[in-house]
Amino acid sequence: MSMLNSAKELVLPKLFTLLRYCTRLPIGCMQQFRALSSFSDVAEVGVSDRGHERKPVVAVAMSGGVDSSVAALLLKRQGFEVFGLHMQNWDSQDEKGMHVCPGDQDYEDARKVCKQLGIDLFQVDYHRRYWLDVFESFTREFSMGRTPNPDLPCNQYIKFDALLEQALHMGADWLATGHYARLSQSQEGSWQLLRGVDRNKDQSYFLASVGQAAFHKVIFPLGSLLKSEVRKIATEAGLQTANRRSSAGICFVGRRQFSEFIAEYVDMIPGPFVSVTDKAVLGTHTGLPAYTFGQRARIAGATEAWYVVGKDVKNHIVFVAQGSAHPALYCKSAVADSLFWISGQPPKNLQVNKPLNCLFKARYAQALRACSVSLLYARPDEMSVQRDFSTAIDGFKPSQFCCMQNVSDGSSSEDPTSLLKVHFQSPAKAITPGQALVLYSGDICLGGGLIHFPGPTLFEV
């Protein structure tokens, strides 16, 4: 099968032609094109290592949803040689009460679409790697009182590492996905991650920890399209997935009743709901992992709405405040750890110990807002195992309602840990330990880190 023959090089002018079709922007001079479907000469692109002209080969990560289906359709229409890869990362049969695996339907939908398109589909099994690289960390973070987002490590370690390696091994020149994001090239030659044109569907937030090496071999065919346009393309083509509901829930685990799901993997110890206003005990919760900052607490018997504003892990307390606009939900500062940068290094301002004014998201669905960030450094003892967060790092103190536990990475290094100190231009709501804080300069995603703790709330100040 020719698509499984590995190509070792592409003629440079034709490489730039190929990149044009994949919503990339080569160095400083190529206009961002509206969509893949506006081109027609791509079938001429590519040569094999034997000197015979051939089509460039693209592997498409086929999830069984409409986005990956349309990504494959657009690439096929433009003359690329395309095959699909479907990942199996989770076995629902291991869950209590799960007799039907939702992943089976995903695969069946992907298979039907690939049959419609006339392309091959291959299954790859990453159950073990997903468990080791994503899910174990996910459950460990919950046990510490944090609220992790598994989509970032899933993209970093599974889709844009293991799957990309598999695609290249099978002879693909590139891996394409259905993400709403774009890539461009900086004047220095490194790849930049850009927000998708569809601001409501932009997924650059979930890609912020993917490294440079991966972006050299990745394309995003949907980056310049709106979701409505993708649906229209799928409908007009009669694709099996045209009207399929968008995916949601835990990455590759899908839609679940979360509190029941997480209770299978993390100890759920009941404790009190405590009002931050008068320290009154208002009721009993089912376990800290079932709650996150900003969530409605749903206290039995309460006539008013109460919201989670913090946790005390040691004493199993969920702190709550009345009303969705309570000042205990807002803060003006935070510290982030586990830093990651798209370029592979911090922005220049941070490298010379100067503050950086930029934009941020602290949750996927949030609009971009202004902040100022700077680097600070923590000693090993400040990041030690199960350190109570009641003490400050470099004079930067957390909210008194954020009493988490922390674990080190097991390193014996005496070098200080790099952290990111963040000042929000206006008060930010529900800044949650464990969630990704992603930074932007306009449309360019810079990288970011994981929220270590929020600063004092407006209620405390």
Q: Where in the chain is the domain with CATH 2.30.30.280?
A: 267-322
Amino acid 380: pLDDT:
60
Amino acid 94: pLDDT:
54
Overall average pLDDT of the 233-237 stretch? 97
Amino acid 366: pLDDT:
93
Between 11 and 96, residue with greater pLDDT: 96
Question: Does residue 143 register a pLDDT over 80?
Answer: yes
Question: Does residue 235 register a pLDDT over 70?
Answer: yes
29-33, 75-79, 314-318, 449-453: the lowest-pLDDT one: 29-33
Q: Give the whole-angstrom CA distance, residue 449 versus residue 433.
A: 11
Considering Cα of 212, then 216, then 217, then 221, what sign does the dihedral take? Answer: positive
**Fold (CATH) for 267-322:** SH3 type barrels. (2.30.30)
Q: What are the tens digits of pLDDT across the range 162-172?
A: 999 999 999 99
Amino acid 255: pLDDT:
57
Question: Does residue 19 register a pLDDT over 90?
Answer: no
Question: Does residue 5 register a pLDDT over 50?
Answer: no
Overall average pLDDT of the 78-107 stretch? 75
- Identify whether the C-beta of residue 74 lies closer than 8 Å to the C-beta of residue 22: no
Overall average pLDDT of the 53-67 stretch? 92
Q: Where in the chain is the domain with CATH 2.40.30.10?
A: 329-454
Q: What are the tens digits of pLDDT across the range 372-388?
A: 999 988 766 555 433 45
**How sure is the predictor about 49, in pLDDT bands with cuts at 50, 70 and 90?**
very low
Amino acid 244: pLDDT:
84
Considering the domain delimited by 2-236, tell me its CATH architecture.
Answer: 3-Layer(aba) Sandwich (3.40)
Q: Give the whole-angstrom CA distance, residue 195 versus residue 203.
A: 7
**Fold (CATH) for 329-454:** Elongation Factor Tu (Ef-tu); domain 3 (2.40.30)
Amino acid 378: pLDDT:
73
Question: Does residue 98 register a pLDDT over 60?
Answer: no
- Identify whether the C-beta of residue 241 lies closer than 8 Å to the C-beta of residue 64: yes
Amino acid 259: pLDDT:
75
Q: What are the tens digits of pLDDT across the range 180-207?
A: 999 999 888 899 999 999 999 999 999 9
Q: What is the mean pLDDT of the chain?
A: 83
Q: Give the whole-angstrom CA distance, residue 243 versus residue 228.
A: 11
Q: What are the tens digits of pLDDT across the range 320-361?
A: 999 999 999 999 999 999 999 999 999 999 999 999 999 999
**How sure is the predictor about 291, in pLDDT bands with cuts at 50, 70 and 90?**
very high
Amino acid 417: pLDDT:
79
Q: What are the tens digits of pLDDT across the range 211-222?
A: 999 999 999 999
Q: Where in the chain is the domain with CATH 3.40.50.620?
A: 2-236
Amino acid 263: pLDDT:
85
Question: Does residue 390 register a pLDDT over 60?
Answer: no
Question: Does residue 125 register a pLDDT over 90?
Answer: yes
Residue numbers annotated as active site:
154, 251
Question: Does residue 3 register a pLDDT over 90?
Answer: no
> pLDDT exceeding 70 applies to what percent of the chain?
78
Residue at 118: amino acid letter? G
Amino acid 248: pLDDT:
56
Amino acid 245: pLDDT:
78
Overall average pLDDT of the 69-81 stretch? 96
Question: Does residue 14 register a pLDDT over 50?
Answer: no
Question: Does residue 261 register a pLDDT over 90?
Answer: no
